[in-house]
Amino acid sequence: MMRNGAQVADSLRLLISSSKSATYVEARYHSRVGSEVNFVNGELERIRVVENAGCGIRVLVDGCWGFTSTSNISNETLKESLSQAISAARILARTKKNKVKGLIESKMITGTFRTSANSGNLSDISIEQKVQVTKEAEKEARSNRLIKTASCTYREMLDHKVIINSDGADIEIHDSKPEFSVTAIARKASQSATAHEGVGITGGWNDLFKKKSHLEYAYTASARAAKLLDARHVSGEKSTVILDPAMVGLLSHEAIGHTVEADFVLSGSVVKDKIGSKVASDLVTLVDSGRSEIAGNAGGTIIVDDEGVAAERTAIIEKGTLKSFLHNRESAMIFGTASTGNARAFQYSDDPLIRMRNTYIEPGEDKLNDMIKETKHGYIIKGARNGQADANGEFMFGAEEVYLIENGEVKELLRGASISGNAFEVLHSVDMVGNEFQYDIGTGYCGKYQPAKVDGGGPHIRCTAMIGGLQE
């Protein structure tokens, strides 16, 4: 149910102004209507519409954070929630050693914002049409006779937020994030292979299918799964690799992005004392931005963060030098710098944490063909699967398809494998950066106590990493 933004804002303003005993108060109304349609092997696997709305209240009292949330947003309940948050903070003040010193001053944003849903407002597209598209794509994925299992999912999140805080933020946001994905599993005798294709964006229905139609996604996934069936496994070795934009996005997010989240830095991340140091090849400029830079409709686009700070472009690494961590107002105060607008909460009942947005490596000047031509022995790594990074910079992520390169030519397709290495060693080894940019991990969610919709990408890059495999 859509509540009137102006009325909600009035209630929250009243609440904030009534609170005198807290250093800082933030009230965030967040309504989300999520829909999902999923077909598997010709049958409707899941259909649902879920609405979740309420107000999260966060306070800073006696140098401690308290948080409560309520789905009932009557003035009375809000007031009760606020006092609960205050008492939770006071309880914590008894045991907390290092009190929060305060929040850095930031320009507090006011106004109403809409993330671009220029074409095809999701709420104007009928549930019947969403069912139709998902059903058709799933059927298309099975049109290849080697595909024994196929699945197609359409999901959307329609968000309405009102954020008011005691430092002057007064914002209303309308956001629209649809995603579409296809999985195909090919099987022959005891062999099986899986392929995924998908897109997750910030925008409308037509934006979602701007690059490819729903049937093209399905076709690509099923053709790849079928091809992978006959592919050999990679043997493990350290090698030259060319990463595709999705892999570059995953590397930027998992292997670098997490290590520069300021809360993580404070507990001893590997980059702790490295601001101003050379951490990567000169060719690498790595950015996290709440805006959809370079290309449109990036899935992690937020405009303003949940503390009321503009979510602007933050260069983490500029031409190989570590420039910035990712901050909220609290960590920025500790580091004596500005907030980078990375405070995000997934739902009304979650509190804002330092999270990434769209994380990517900026394009360079090399053509992909030249990158391949200049590789004597190596691999092209495509199709990012999930990944993880460790505090010491070690990372690993999965790739769906791997192509062998010998003497400057692309040879056979190999099965998916894990790529690993030390993040910064890998970035130091970057010697070629492609000139075509793409966001390509928008169907992914990042997990850190709560999910967050993020995106990432880049051009193709060439570097050295360890590729895992079986010891024969």
Partner 1 sequence: MILDLLQYAIKQAEALGASDAEAYAAINNESEVFIENNDVKQAKSQSTSSIGVRVVLDGSIGFYSTNDLAKSRIRDAAAMAIKVAHASPKDKHNILPRKSKSKLVRGIYDRNAESFQTLDAARMAAEMLKAAKSYDSRVSVDSGNFSAQVATDALANSNGIELKERTSVFSWSIMGMAIENTEISSFDYQVGGSHYVKDINVSNTAGEFAETVVKSLGTRKIEESFKGEMLLTPMAAKEMIEEVVAHAINSDAVQKKSSHFAGKIGRQVASDLLTIEDDATNVEGLNASSFDREGVFHRRNVVIEKGILKKFLYNTHTASKDGVKSTGNAGGSTSSPPTVSTTNFLVKPMRSSVDKLVSEIDKGIIISRFSGNVDPVNGDFSGVVKGGQLIMNGTIKYSVKEVMVAGNVFDALRRLNGISRERKVIYDSILPYMRFDGISFTTG
Residues 385-414 within binding reach of partner 1 (CB under 8 A): 385-386, 388, 390-392, 394, 396-398
The CA distance from 72 to 55, in Å, is 8
CB under 8 A: which stretch of 64-72, 113-121, 274-282, 295-303 binds partner 1? 64-72
With DSSP H G I counted as helix, E B as strand and the rest as coil, what are the percentages for the chain, rounded to 5?
25, 40, 35
Instruction: Show contacts with partner 1 in window 151-180 (CB under 8 A).
Output: 151
The contacts of residue 20 (CB under 8 Å, 6+ apart) are none
CB of 329 to partner 1, least distance (A): 14
Q: Which of 187, 227, 274, 278 binds partner 1 (CB under 8 A)?
A: 187
CB atoms under 10 Å from CB of 279, counted, come to 25
What's the CA gap between 186 and 145, in Å, rounded?
9
Measured distance CA(240)–CA(379) in Å, rounded: 7
Report the residue number, 6 or 50, with the smaller CB distance to partner 1. 50
Question: Which residues between 225 and 264 bind partner 1 (CB under 8 A)?
Answer: 236-238, 263-264
Closest CB 196 distance from partner 1, rounded Å: 12
Nearer to partner 1, 321 or 349 (CB): 349
The span from the CA of 37 to the CA of 156, in Å, is 9
Residues of span 74-133 touching partner 1 by CB under 8 A = 84, 87-89, 91-92, 94-98, 126-128, 131
∠ Cα 305 307 312 (to 5°): 35
Q: Which two tokens stand for residue 420?
A: 């690993």
Sign of CA dihedral 220, 221, 223, 227: positive
Would you count residue 470 as binding partner 1 (CB under 8 A)? yes
Residue count, binding to partner 1 (CB under 8 A): 78
Sites for partner 1 among residues 366-385 (CB under 8 A):
385
Establish if 46 lies at the interface with partner 1 (CB under 8 A): yes
Q: Which of 14, 266, 315, 410 binds partner 1 (CB under 8 A)?
A: 266
- Contacting partner 1 within 429-468 (CB under 8 A): 449, 466, 468
CB of 53 to partner 1, least distance (A): 7
Residues in CB range of 232: below 8 A, 6 or more apart: 412, 414, 415
Binding residue for partner 1, selected from 8, 27, 64, 171, defined by CB under 8 A: 64
